[in-house]
Amino acid sequence: MYFVANWKMFGNYKSINTLNKVIKFSKSKAIKKGRLIYCPPYTLISSFFKKFENCLIDLGAQNCHESEDYGSHTGFINSKMIKSTGANYVILGHSENRKKGESDQLINTKIKNAIKAKLKVIFCIGETLIEKKKKKTKAVLSKQIKLGLKKIKISSNIFIAYEPVWSIGTGDIPKSIELEKTVQFIKKKFKGKPPKILYGGSVNTENIKDLKKITILDGFLIGGASQNSKKFIDIVKKTYN
């Protein structure tokens, strides 16, 4: 199971010390087969990399510029640059960035170039509350998958994170039956072996007890709760107990 910590726009150099607990946990038996991946803001990736030197915790970025090459793009970072920090993952298509205007086509270009740069991609999809109410969830997810992964060969380099937009930061999660059906639906979109599927949206130390019962999931993309090491560790432990 994969446990991805998306710190969003939180954290500063002092946050590095909060990782000691997680490092210790990652070396203990209690982690079982859990794989931890931290996606801090860009400013902290290198410091986290040094901090994780002697453990198996992996790193990712939260977005990247779509260009394969270096260039005059003030304020941006491309996938090659992310790879050079020691990170191996990048989150793409997050709804917080789609909301700011990222199109499916742009996300598709980012995914292609991230894969070329040998990064693994955590590709986020999910419907808004209005789309859910209008019963458009399947249509929305189908479109996001079709356009976002256009001309991309599915391999172990692609993870899909199903994050219903209405669930992010709200404390609401889908009903177990609904979530299971949606994950099945996503898996069936792929002809061969489907990519690994993560769930994201208000995952916490309480609802993990229900979420872990959805055994077709391959892990979780965790926002708020992942910034607290104790809570993050607790989520992993409860997944296995």
| Nearest approach, Cβ of residue 94 and ligand 13P (Å) | 6
80 vs 98, which CB is nearer to ligand 13P?
98
Q: Which residues are catalytic?
A: 94, 163
Using CB under 6 A, which of 87, 115, 221, 236 touches ligand 13P? 221
26 vs 226, which CB is nearer to ligand 13P?
226
Q: Which amino acid is at 176?
A: S
Q: Could you say whether residue 222 binds ligand 13P (CB under 6 A)?
A: yes
| Nearest approach, Cβ of residue 235 and ligand 13P (Å) | 10
Scanning residues 191 to 210, which ones bind ligand 13P (CB under 6 A)? Answer: 200-203
25 vs 199, which CB is nearer to ligand 13P?
199
Binding string, 75-114, against ligand 13P, x = CB under 6 A? -------------------x--------------------
Q: Which stretch binds ligand 13P (CB under 6 A): 74-82, 145-153, 182-190, 217-225?
A: 217-225
Scanning residues 143 to 182, which ones bind ligand 13P (CB under 6 A)? Answer: 163, 168-169
Q: Could you say whether residue 26 binds ligand 13P (CB under 6 A)?
A: no
Separation of first and last alpha carbons in the chain:
13
94 vs 110, which CB is nearer to ligand 13P?
94
Dist. CA 111–CA 78, nearest whole Å: 11
Q: Would you tell me which residues interact with ligand 13P (CB under 6 A)?
A: 6, 94, 163, 168-169, 200-203, 221-225
